[in-house]
Chain A
Amino acid sequence: MWYRVGSRNEHPGITGASHWVEHMLFEGSPRYAKGEIDRAVVSVGGELNAFTDVDFTAYYSTVPREHLDVPLDIESDRMTRALITDEEVARERTVIFSEREGNENWPEFRVEEELYQLSFREHPYRWDPLGRRKDIEQMSAEQLRTYYRRFYGTRNALLVVAGGFDPDRITQEVRRRFGPLPAGGEDVTVHEVEPPPKGERRGELSGPGTTPYLQVGFRAPALAEPETPATIVLDAILGGETRLFSTGSGWGRSGEHPSSRLYRGLVDPGLAVRATSEWRPRSYPGLFTIQAQAAAGISLDRLEVAIHRLLERLVREGPRPAEMEETRTKVRRAVALAYEGASRTGFRLGYFSVFRSPRLEDEVFRSILRVSAKQVRERARELFQPERRTVVRYRPTGVGNGS
């Protein structure tokens, strides 16, 4: 069950509410007491979980086909009847803190949080879905209940069922369970518009660690914009793969790519230990990022200059024909095996549908195959302008005493 509700629908004071509500939807309703949702699914041999992003929140279950009624019952119940009691909110607050603290132990999380905070001044993409510490400390149960009642409902929901089942029976079952629910869910459109950046923004963090690290972010288009296919090609050329169409048995990036430009330009000459790019699909304009970990003895100044030069060269010369062909091949190959298994199929269908429709994947895929080297070069020229850039650097202070 996907909801078009994510941290983009929050505001300062309640940042992290979408994620917290996601946790609370496992904590009970009049029909399912605390813990019973988990037990109902795992006792029939299923598994379940949920995740929260900036644009959406998704709850998933994978169960044997004869038990499909179990997740349908749970989802139709918790769409409108989650309790979110004061006691459970108080108890979950420390769990949420703990999740955030686990992330804070990693410099990459801290740098990325700072990068988005600096890059966006108006748009709610400026905070992480986990929420700000102060808001986690202070948000009340009533604020969470209000948020839930405001956004959860059939208008903002998308149900995806994948695998072996009788479509007629399931359609009837879905109508029976979800049809009587009140048509709820307020408009989730984000009205804040981020003005174009007027110059480079920079930030610097320090903390425990041993290797200097940096991220460079550039304002990038939303998923449904016409520039998307060329942006995906740029991501594949720079980092070796792209999140939507990556090769492999999992979802997301699959490892190092020695044939990519960032690897060859930064890792091969010994400037970085690792380097990659990432464009994340978003409903509204987001960021295209370059991430690099400096090699021992290499300063962040030197690494950053190398990144800028590498991008300037791509803008100046555009991609090589072989790079274009390799990217098309990778994308074709990734799509061919992307729908193995009901869980992956359900995830992909939901992912593209929550942004627009299940056809979006095919549209983007076909556009990538058609995009020209000239269009990619033009996209690089627009994207990698210094005044659209944000740089955050992490200066490590050492291991710590470890006594």
Chain B
Amino acid sequence: MGAESNDPLRIQYLPSLDGLTVVRQAPPPGAGSFSATYVGPAGWGFDEPGAEGTARLTCQLVTIAAGPYDRVELARRLDRAGATLNRQCAPESSEITIWGPADEWERLLDLLGVVVQRPRFDPEDVRHARRQMVERQLRESTQPAHRAERELLRRIFPADHPYHGTGLGTGRSLARLSRDRLARFHQDHYTKGSGLLVVTAPAKGEAVRRAARRAFRDLARTEPRKLRIRAPRPATGGRRLIDLPGRSQVEVRLGGPSIPRVDPRFPAAFLANEVLGGRPLLSRLFQRVREHGGLAYHASSDLEAMRYGGYWVAQAGTGADRWKKVVPMIEAELRRVRESSVPPRELDLVRESAIGEIPLSLETTAEAHELAVDAAYHGLPEDHWRSWPSALRAVRPSEVREAARTALGPTGSITVIAGPVGQG
């Protein structure tokens, strides 16, 4: 157990509650709000074949009605407290976050406990949530950005890999999801075992732990099965065009598999991605494609480093008559970051910008809380965000190039172009 700290950049791991990892974070000075997040091993990577959509649907239903509160009463309860409840479902996990006034933190943590432990799965709510998921599937199928992303992941990862899909399932798989099946998924995956609770509140560690014990006393202790992780597909490269007539914009995605967050090369890989397209306004993709090329409104890259692996993606949204110029530009910038050392001046600028962003994340409790959830989910040291600047400053230009070869490559990027490509 770490020392008590009022520094929001230092998280504190408290003794676990029957397998539930509990983490405390002090809110930023002067903040009047509170946030708490339960993270469960309940991502869509756990969906059974033929039952895709289970994790997302369960996650949605958890935040709709729970315990004594039907959907209207839960909404009113939150409104009366000035609180909000948010959810996020990812391949590996699902997160449920409550936010509200700091002076009500214990009552709101109790409410989070009710929501996580006792979702109602009322039949009408199940029908409604399923309708919304079907509508979302259809809606995303019409959008070039979603189509391009979905196709990219399909090509990078094999069918039974957690990162292969979007977790939305299909109309057919959703139709199979009975209330009982969703309740069973909840019982097996919203657990103390492999679960995480992060609390950002104006309270000492002991008070947080006591409140967490009370709020989550009925959470099952079971340890869910482990995710089965297969290797990504061999990088073969290739290009896929998805013609979607009638749209205005073409979305371009290039990507490939990458490293997990805890990989020791992550700081260098992080900087490689920032140089390529991750750093707003400064990155090479933004500068070349938008600022100097005038070819796109957005041009950037992301490094999704997760617990069991990851992927990188470079992206741009452009016109039907311009994508043929944009794709070679992105490819050229990828080659440059992999093959040449980043000039020290450029690296310093990008690095100091990334470091400078950390204090800006302490403006509000909600933003600081995101840092804590991220560090705790990956089991990073308590002082991770305090020591992150020195970790970044220790990275040499040659290490950035090496990391780019591993984490943004190595070769054979897959390219997907979706939109009115037939008009170009």
Interface of A toward B, CB cutoff 8 Å: 34-35, 38-39, 42-48, 62, 64, 90-102, 104-106, 207-211, 240, 247-250, 254-255, 257-259, 264, 267-268, 270, 273-274, 293, 295-296, 326, 329-330, 332-334, 336-337, 340-344, 396-397, 399-403
Contacts and interface: CB of A to CB of B under 8 A. Distances in A.
Nearest to A213: B139
Nearest to B363: A341
Contacts of A94: 294-295, 319, 322
Interface in B122-169: 124, 127-128, 131-132, 134-135, 138-139, 141-145, 147
Contact of B297 (A38, A99, A334, A400): A99
Given A248-B99, A259-B72, A403-B242, A98 B318 contact: yes
B352 interface: yes
A268 to B, nearest CB: 8
Interface residues of B, number: 77
B75 A257 contact: yes
Given A42-B281, A401-B245, A330 B135 contact: no
Nearest to A46: B356
Contact of A344 (B295, B360, B364, B419): B364
B32 interface: yes
A264 B30 CA distance: 38
A309 to B, nearest CB: 20
Given A95-B290, A259-B79, A340-B32, A45 B360 contact: yes
A273 B135 contact: yes
19 contacts: A45-B359, A47-B280, A47-B360, A92-B294, A97-B319, A105-B144, A210-B135, A210-B139, A247-B84, A249-B99, A259-B75, A270-B131, A330-B79, A337-B82, A399-B138, A399-B142, A400-B244, A400-B247, A402-B147
B291 to A, nearest CB: 7
B285 to A, nearest CB: 14
Contacts of A343: 360, 363
Interface in B47-61: none
A100 to B, nearest CB: 8
B128 A334 contact: no
B142 A400 contact: yes
A46 B360 CA distance: 8
Contacts of B144: 105
Given A45-B353, A211-B135, A402-B242, A337 B33 contact: yes
Contact of B243 (A46, A211, A401): A401
B80 A293 contact: no
A102 B356 contact: no
10 A-B pairs with least C-beta separation: A45-B356, A333-B82, A341-B363, A91-B294, A249-B366, A101-B248, A210-B138, A104-B248, A98-B297, A101-B249
B360 A247 contact: no
B326 to A, nearest CB: 10
B282 A38 contact: yes
Contacts of B131: 270, 273, 295-296
B355 interface: yes
Contacts of A337: 32-33, 82, 101
Contacts of B82: 247, 329-330, 332-334, 336-337
Contact of A247 (B64, B79, B134): B79
Interface string B200-226: 000000000000000000000000000
Nearest to B31: A340
A397 B245 CA distance: 11
B364 A98 contact: no
Contacts of A248: 84, 99
Nearest to B124: A268
Given A43-B356, A249-B364, 17 more contacts: A45-B353, A45-B359, A48-B281, A93-B294, A102-B248, A102-B249, A102-B298, A102-B317, A105-B249, A257-B75, A259-B79, A273-B132, A333-B101, A341-B367, A343-B360, A399-B138, A400-B244
Contacts of B75: 240, 257-259
A143 B131 CA distance: 49
A87 B339 CA distance: 32
B355 A45 contact: yes
Nearest to A164: B30
A211 B291 contact: no
Contact of A210 (B142, B246, B287, B357): B142
Contacts of B322: 94, 98
B229 interface: no
B349 to A, nearest CB: 6
A235 B150 CA distance: 36
B282 A39 contact: yes
A248 B81 CA distance: 11
B365 interface: yes
A100 B168 CA distance: 28
